Amino acid sequence: MRRVIQTEVDVSLEKDGYILVGKVDLLMGQDLPAPRPGLFFVYVIECANGSHYIGQTEDLCRRWVEHLKGNAAQWTQRHKPIRIAHYEEFSSRKEAVERERNLKTGYGRKYLKRLIKSGQAQQAGNKLELLDFKTSERSTDAGLLSTYEDQLCTYAHVLERRHGKHPERLLLYWTAEPDKAAALMEIPYRPEKVEAGGRRFDQVVSRIQARDFTVHRLPEIKVCKECDLKALCGAERRI
């Protein structure tokens, strides 16, 4: 089961002397149940200190992201959420609230520990995928592909550092590719690409700061419209 759990995922990173701004189009969870009208979840989050946080919600995907971001509860803000160790489904809020209360008792917590230890708990939130859209046909340009690999591996690294979650798959989707079977491209995660990408970003930024560059050919106007530097280029009358 694959679910969109967040769009426009911010993967910006503070580097020495500059901020690398980045956004991935989609973050998907392969094992998170979709919300449905009349469906409620009781969930148990395992935190980094070994504790279990118990809650209930009608949208487990959204709630999981809120916990990861530290916006859901003080407990998971202080104790990093690692995974959804168990969840159950109910057809009314009342049943979910009763079950939540029951699991929070001493007996309920002992039951949960046994269940999770036995490997029979219903887990989720372990499998993430990153998907980035490219608005062109599938490219065969090795240099461009290498740049996209650096970017996606860096985004995966940032996501892991920020939320403690390592995406299992990194994907590019070429939206203008006529052969739809070839539109999706999987990029392998390679830690050395993160290092290489970091070095390249440092070099580019230091050249910009030293004004050591020449604009031979302006990109298409639609590229500039989306660019974070358009105010600067406009002020310098480059565009």
Q: Is residue 20 close enough to count as binding ligand SF4 by CB under 6 A?
A: no
Among 4, 183, 196, 233, binds ligand SF4 (CB under 6 A): 233
26 vs 233, which CB is nearer to ligand SF4? 233
Candidate ranges 33-41, 44-52, 196-204, 220-228; the one touching ligand SF4 (CB under 6 A): 220-228
Q: How far apart are CA 82 and CA 225, in angstroms?
A: 39
E strand or H helix that includes residue 83: strand 81-90
In sequence order, the 6+-apart residues with CB closer than 8 A to the CB of 197 are 150, 151, 153, 154
Pairing of strands 81-90, 23-29: unpaired
> Shortest gap between Cβ of 13 and ligand SF4 (angstroms)?
19
Q: Is residue 230 close enough to count as binding ligand SF4 by CB under 6 A?
A: yes
Q: State how far Cα 238 lies from the chain centre.
A: 35
Q: Is residue 207 close enough to count as binding ligand SF4 by CB under 6 A?
A: no
User: Do residues 115 and 86 touch, judged by C-beta distance below 8 A?
Assistant: yes
Restricting to residues 180-199, name those near ligand SF4 by CB under 6 A. Answer: none
Candidate ranges 56-64, 156-164, 184-192, 216-224; the one touching ligand SF4 (CB under 6 A): 216-224
Candidate ranges 97-105, 109-117, 146-154, 222-230; the one touching ligand SF4 (CB under 6 A): 222-230
| Residue 115: CB atoms within 10 Å | 15
Among 219, 222, 235, 237, binds ligand SF4 (CB under 6 A): 219
Among 119, 164, 227, 237, binds ligand SF4 (CB under 6 A): 227
> Shortest gap between Cβ of 233 and ligand SF4 (angstroms)?
3
Q: How far apart are CA 43 and CA 146, in angstroms?
A: 40
User: What does the DSSP assignment read for 173-225?
Assistant: EETT-SSGGGSEEEE---HHHHHHHHHHHHHHHHHHHTT----SSPPPHHHHH
Per-residue x/- track, 147-186, ligand SF4 (CB under 6 A): ----------------------------------------
Determine the size of the site formed for ligand SF4 (CB under 6 A).
10
105 vs 135, which CB is nearer to ligand SF4? 135
| Residue 200: CB atoms within 10 Å | 15
What's 124's DSSP letter?
A: B
Binding residues for ligand SF4 (CB under 6 A): 218-219, 223-224, 227, 229-230, 233, 238-239
